[in-house]
A and B are shown apart, each in its own frame.
Chain A
């Protein structure tokens, strides 16, 4: 009993149903997890990591089945166990933390009512004890006001706190195994670090085994004892974290590790007196009566990339909306090539609209699902340049070639038939079709896997060199900034707190906020989180530190 592994999955094959066929998702993967061990599952989206994680609970989503193999939890075969046996295990000895806590909590009930449900239903403890224990767990997870937070509704609590509440809920029965499914992916870096620290703490304290699913290598390096890499349903390799980071054996793993090495050469400083392509001058803006931007000013020059960084709510995207004219500023002005733009996009003429193009974060919602790729790209070509018939087709084909997609193959496809990275390329092509000099890239890589994201960044860099485009690159990922930016603008609470060339920004001394942002980005070093916590103390990371500013 003692040396028996907690989870033993042998030769597990999973299949998903689509178009009336069973397609393989996981092809014969083994997984062994000892008591108290943390296993990191990494891979691109579609690699089957979530499906495998759920299969470790003996559970499959609708339309997915386990076609072969065995799943044992503490000696109990989960695939043949009866519903009654499983009911005893799930929630009590095995718990699950989903990616989006906001979507997983029932908005109609208070947090504590949802927290106690597990222990009370499973008969672990009574309601009173369970509530007291909940408060204790909230305290351990370093939630603010642990005595009161449980009596709030989910919408009254921030995303990072909600994610910790969900971890507390998973802990409520003191399970032997918790499955974390990308618990920090949707969070800002400064919030993520808090959640990571508290999850790691509590897992260590109760000696809980965990399967940690993520696509972020730096995160998994902090959390896991062992890492398993998946690619398209196949296991690539498994090794303990330090070995995996220092000496990956497989090509695919190496390529994952190498992604972050992409960096563009520095460009010479801008000549003084050059007219900026776009100039934002003393812009104030508000939504209704709520002010969101205060005196924002910065310039963007030809052939250069300005990265605008900051956490969500800092006003990055609002600045973009002011430039495009979707949100007319209350004060200040936008200049394009030295010409003052009308504040409202409806007042701008066709040529003014053409000069400012935008690429969106979610390629899914940025492309009309009912239009073919050809139609999507052809529309701006026809609208702005007046090309028709064969000429239009030729232009669309050349644009598709520019974004490295074969025209004959993609022209008639619908967006739903494309992968995430390809969709984002179509978004780029649509922006290029207007032949602009300036493109706003709003978090264009944040919804993509790292390898795909790198491809997009390289494409954008190449296009910039060829067409001498200027980019305003909105992001919260500092690795992306390091890769592509020439200048950096740091925003917080609707103000520009620091701006300058990239080489100065990544060197101290910084503004305190820039420093915090920089230090919150996880690094590949497995000791990074430990060192950071030792250096700063648990109360000086993440949102707590932001609030102190």
Chain B
């Protein structure tokens, strides 16, 4: 095995050298090949090798021999998904470039494909979340009479599917597709509300600390240090356990507690950022000019500081949203988050998780829990792509 790896490495090393030499002689020593470091040439060859392997693996996944095809099933889905999303993002960008105002056209022109993929995905999620009731074929807690539990996704009766339930049904016979769509509403909606709350708390306190400084800054910052010193997931779990005792006594839904707990824990990170950004802005001459004019604290924070801090805060909002989202999914997975029968992606992964064991010989059955997991992953990736792009824009980097 090691011998093979060494041979492959040496072979690729030799190929890299040949590649560069061939490039030099074919193009008549063009600067691109002439000044190419060896490492870059090796990178090209390595990239080509990986690409070749992917093509080979994909043909294996399409093989008529079911045993071989099953082995490469998920890779096949991933490659197909990747290509479909790339094309969709590309079409979406073309659409954006030809429609809308001059401003939005310009924005789409300078947009990388990743960002347009991210925006498209977020829009689709938003539509599903808002119109879940109208789109979903069944209710989220509806156990459809006369339908078996654990129908395999794929809709192929030969493999245990049912064309009426393309994404299959869960362990008690609820439609997975409907639950996924309602999950968008529950999980994403609650995550969005939580992030907003976290930003409201953390942002306000952070700017106040930056503007006023002194003992207020000291007290708030030390408090935040204390909260940040405790591992956030374990802290949240602990508080949720306490809250799950209080919630029925007080008659307040547990979800409200969850929103507040996660918002407070995450607001510490927002506080840090807002304070740091705020401190950089407070030293500017225009703030001094406003202070000397006799402006009040509210004007300083909301008119002078906040507009100049929007770019980093917005980028942080995207990231924070992902973390909050993952925390909620994790808490639900652990059983203290969003409570059944409400559909939630984290809970869905936990409930159907056992099917992952069938991945070797019945990949379609293993897909059931992965659908919810994929929905989480896709949104997280999409948000991060958009955030990356916004960070790039706000930092003023040129291509």
Contact = CB atoms under 8 A, between A and B. Distances in A.
**A and B associate in one complex:** yes
Interface residues of A, number: 33
Nearest to B281: A368
Given A360-B285, A367-B286, A353 B398 contact: no
Contact of B285 (A17, A350, A365): A365
Contact of A82 (B35, B285, B293, B295): B35
- Looking at B284, B285, B304, B398, the one whose CB has the most chain A CB atoms below 10 A away is B285
A345 interface: yes
B298 interface: no
B110 interface: yes
B304 to A, nearest CB: 6
Contacts of A345: 291-292, 294
Interface string B15-57: 0000000000000000100110000000000000000000000
Nearest to B291: A345
B163 to A, nearest CB: 49
A324 B285 contact: no
B225 interface: no
Contact of B304 (A20, A368, A384): A368
A447 interface: no
Nearest to A363: B285
Contacts of B289: 358, 360, 366, 430
B285 A353 contact: no
Contact of A326 (B109, B286, B288, B398): B288
A384 B34 CA distance: 67
A63 interface: yes
Contacts of A367: 286
B63 interface: no
Given A82-B31, A82-B34, A368-B304, A358 B292 contact: yes
B89 to A, nearest CB: 20
A362 B308 contact: no
A369 B308 contact: yes
A370 interface: yes
Contacts, number: 58
Contacts of B231: none
A434 B286 CA distance: 15
Contacts of A251: none
B398 A63 contact: yes
A258 interface: no
Interface residues of B, number: 20
A383 interface: yes
B293 A353 contact: yes
A367 B60 CA distance: 63
B286 A379 contact: no
A537 B293 CA distance: 50
B307 interface: yes
Contacts of B285: 360, 362, 365-366
Nearest to B308: A370
Interface string B107-139: 001100000000000000000000000000000
A365 B284 contact: yes
B286 A62 contact: no
A199 B289 CA distance: 40
- Looking at A17, A18, A83, A348, the one whose CB has the most chain B CB atoms below 10 A away is A83
Contacts of A368: 286, 304, 307-308
Contact of B294 (A18, A82, A353): A353
Contacts of A328: none
Contacts of A358: 289, 292
Given A62-B398, A83-B35, A366 B286 contact: yes
B109 A20 contact: yes
Interface string A142-167: 00000000000000000000000000
Contacts of B293: 353, 379-380, 383-384, 434
A67 B399 CA distance: 18
Given A17-B399, A325-B292, A365-B286, 10 more contacts: A84-B35, A326-B291, A326-B292, A348-B294, A360-B285, A366-B289, A368-B304, A369-B308, A380-B293, A434-B293
The 8 A-B pairs of least Cβ separation, nearest first, read A370-B307, A83-B35, A366-B285, A360-B285, A368-B286, A365-B285, A353-B294, A63-B398
Interface of B: 31, 34-35, 109-110, 284-286, 288-289, 291-295, 304, 307-308, 398-399
13 contacts: A20-B109, A83-B35, A345-B291, A345-B294, A348-B294, A353-B294, A356-B292, A358-B289, A362-B285, A365-B284, A366-B285, A370-B307, A430-B289
